Structures are given as C-alpha cells and as structure tokens.
Amino acid sequence: MMPVLFAVGNHYFIGPEYFRDVKIFLIATALVFVLYWLSIITLTLAIRWIIAKFPDVKHTRKRLIVMLVVVGGMTVFLAAFDVWAYSITPGLHVRFSWEALWPILILGGFFDLFLCAALGLFYTFEKWKQNQTETEKLERLALQHQFNTLKGHVNPHFLFNSLNTLSSLISEDTENAEAFVEDLSKIYRYMLQAAKSDLVMLRSELDFLIVYTRSLKTRYGESLKIDFPTDYSGPDFQIPPLTLQTLVDNAVRYNRMSLSKPLEIKIGIITGSEIVVRNNLQRKTRILETHPSGLSDLIEKYRLASSKCVQVEETGKYFTVTLPLLKEKTLS
C-alpha cells in the first residue's frame, strides 16, 4: 500500500516527470520514504505521550480530544515541512505554495480522524480487557484464599499437633486442657468465618491473635515470645483476614526456638497507618514445605487489591514485614 501512496504523492508534487526521469524518480522516492518515517515516528511519540498523560479509561474523551488537537497541529506542520523539503531538494523543481498544501491538509485531516478514533478505541478496549483480567485474577485469588484458609488451617498437621498438646495437658493439667479446648474452638470458628470476608477489622484480628498466641504458648512455652498491642483503640482500619496469624506462622515455620534462644515476634502499629511484624532470625537448616508460603499469597493480595504495597526487609538479625492498614474503599 505504501509504494502506491508514495508514487501518487510524488506524481502530485512533481508531475509526469516523476515517471519519465530515472534520476528524479530515485531522488523523490528516497525523499518521500524519509519524510514518511519522520512523520510516523513524530506522531507515534506524540500519541504515546498523550496516552501516558491520560491513561485511565475514564479519560477517554479528554484523551481523544487532546489527541485530535495535537495530531492535527502536527499534521499541519509536517505537511508544510514536506512541501518545503521538496522545494529545496535539487533536481525536483518543486516550488513551495499554499495551494499545493491544501490537498495534503484535507487528506491529513481525514487520516488524523481515522487514526485517533482507531487508536482511541483500541487503547480503551485493551484497558478494559486489562481491568477485566485484574478483576478476574482478584476474584480467583479471593477464592483461592478462602480455600487455602480452610485447607491450611484445618489440616491434619495442625490438628495432630493440637491433639498431642491436648493429650499431654489432659494427663498433667486438666484445667489448662479445658481452656486449650475452648481456645481451639474459638480459633477454628474465627478461621471459618474469616474465610468468607475480604477484610476484617484490625481490632478483631488482634483479639483473635490473643487466643492464637495463647495456644502457641501452650505448645512452645517460653521458647516463643510474642509481643503485640492487646488493647488497640485506634481508628477502624482493616486488613485481610488472618494476616497477623499468617506472619506469626511464617516466623514459627522458618525459625528455630529454644529456652536459651527464644523466637521473639514483635507486632507494632506505627504512624497510625502501618503495622509492623518483626522477628529475630534463627533460620532452620531444613524446612519441610507442606503448603505454599502464606507470605507470598499475602503480598499478591495486597498488590492486586490496593495501591499500597507490603514491605519485606531481611537483615542479619531480623526479618520485618510492614503492612499498610486499609480502609474498605481501598479494595473497591
């Protein structure tokens, strides 16, 4: 298609001599080739800048208007530049005149309308598809989160450890055994309820963590130390369900603990909008993975659901995870 347009354009500027004189034919063809790619590159850069300036689907109308104005203005300039380039090229015998410019401007105007409409529709459709993909991915992640919650927390390994602890308590401390059974029922009840929600109140998570920590302390004793605010009365922030329990389990799973070298987990709220979970590093030499990392799922959920990100930092002594505290509109 382009060779035909090149020939038509050169014939318009030069006349029949374009096809009769080999020298004129070669010079004019090379010139129109250079001018064509100069125009394409210039317009492409301008359109990319406009799209970057107005990327959202809600900016479609504004983006299209700006694109028409900018591309139209550039078309006038490039058309005038093309005629001027022909007029100064030796051997073509073309004079610069506004009469020669008008047909190019009219054709350029139709081209601009078609180009901007096509690009605008294509970009809007691509953004819509991208948004649909992100929404579907978030829905799949939510379903997977519910499934992983049920599978990861109501699992034989967890139940086996709990029953072992309970068996020891029954023979040694009946009163604590009854309290342990009550805590287990609260833990399972909360886990099953939380699996149905995208967000839970921070206060509810901290209340649940009190019970969950008590059950861990029954099993690990003074080898595990967990410090966190038990009387939170700040703003009604929210976080994904079982977030704190996931990070506590992550620390327990990957680190050694003993009476002489206890695992210390500290949870604190900073600047009123972030919660920090930090533990001292005492890496296990070998870890048997029974299910995917809860931390990875947590990071992915924040990435898809919010503009705020989870920050993970590991030094020689500490492993720290900083979580943004959310409001419900953040996940809308």
CATH number, domain of 274, equals: 3.30.565
End of a domain among 107, 135, 163? 135
Whether residues 265 and 191 share a domain: the answer is yes
How do the pLDDT tens digits run along the chain, 332 residues long? 455 666 777 767 777 887 788 888 888 888 888 888 888 888 888 888 887 888 776 777 787 888 888 888 888 888 888 888 888 888 877 787 777 677 777 777 777 677 777 777 777 777 777 777 777 777 777 666 665 655 554 445 556 666 666 666 676 667 777 787 888 888 888 888 876 777 888 889 999 999 888 888 888 889 999 998 877 767 778 888 888 988 998 898 889 999 999 999 999 988 768 899 999 999 887 655 544 467 887 887 777 667 778 899 999 899 999 999 887 654 44
Whether residues 188 and 288 share a domain: the answer is yes
Whether residues 206 and 301 share a domain: the answer is yes
Secondary structure E strands in 74-125: none
Do residues 146 and 241 touch, judged by C-beta distance below 8 A? no
β-sheet with 263-270: strand ranges across: 224-227, 263-270, 274-280, 318-324, 311-314
Whether residues 166 and 257 share a domain: the answer is yes
Using CB atoms within 10 Å of the CB of residue 145, give its burial: 0 to 12 exposed, 13 to 18 middle, 19+ buried. buried
CA distance 306 to 138: 11
Is residue 284, in this structure, part of any structural domain at all? yes
Is residue 147, in this structure, part of any structural domain at all? no
Do residues 314 and 296 touch, judged by C-beta distance below 8 A? no
Whether residues 124 and 170 share a domain: the answer is no
> Domain of 289?
154-331
Question: pTM value?
Answer: 0.52
